[in-house]
Structure 1
């Protein structure tokens, strides 16, 4: 994933990002990142637009 820390922070605060664990710092489990990517996957641009709504 090539998301900046700021983008991940924005996604976290809006509840749209991957699940995370806060242990002093924010940590992401590999399985949670894979799940986030799977949920964000789309097969067409129309499908991606519908997912945003």
Structure 2
């Protein structure tokens, strides 16, 4: 999971939308969550 957090936090489309909190955690502010989810879908990550 740490590798995925690193990958997402480093992606140019996502890095302005999230903050890395630790090796395995990302924080996404509530006001940026819709844009973060849209970017994830655009990158091919399925959302549950």
TM-score category of the 2 structures, normalised to the smaller one: 0.3 to 0.5
Q: Which has the higher helix share?
A: 1
Q: Which structure is higher in RCO with an 8 Å CA cutoff and minimum separation 6?
A: 2
Q: TM-score, normalised by structure 1?
A: 0.34
Q: TM-score, normalised by structure 2?
A: 0.36
> Looking at CA atoms only, which structure, 1 or 2, has the larger radius of gyration?
1
